[in-house]
Amino acid sequence: MDIQIKSIGELIDSLMTTSQSCWHAQDKILDETLSDKERLNAAVKAQQTNIKRVALIRAINERLEEANFLLDTKSYDKSK
């Protein structure tokens, strides 16, 4: 599904999944029991998933800005 038509909930779900995939790939990069080729493949995957992660973060931020959601507002602070 295209990032531009996903809901904020779908974007957050995708962000969580993508972040986890990126972290696993980064762990493989540091795993010295893997071959150089496996570690290189993990590095490529980490880079690709990080690009997707950044795009998702930007999309979430844009949606929140469109909704005039202030990131510094506390839900329990009734004065704002």
Tens of pLDDT, residue by residue over 49-59, are: 999 999 999 99
- The stretch 24-52 carries a mean pLDDT of 97
pTM: 0.75
Report the alpha-carbon distance of residue 51 to residue 68 in Å, rounded.
26
Report pLDDT digits (tens) over 70-80.
656 555 655 55
Length of the chain equals 80
3-state secondary structure of 80: coil
Could you give the CA distance from residue 22 to residue 29 in angstroms, rounded to a whole number? Answer: 11
Q: Using CA atoms, how far apart are residues 4 and 48, in angstroms rounded to an integer?
A: 19
Interior angle at CA 55, CA 38 and CA 70, nearest 5: 135
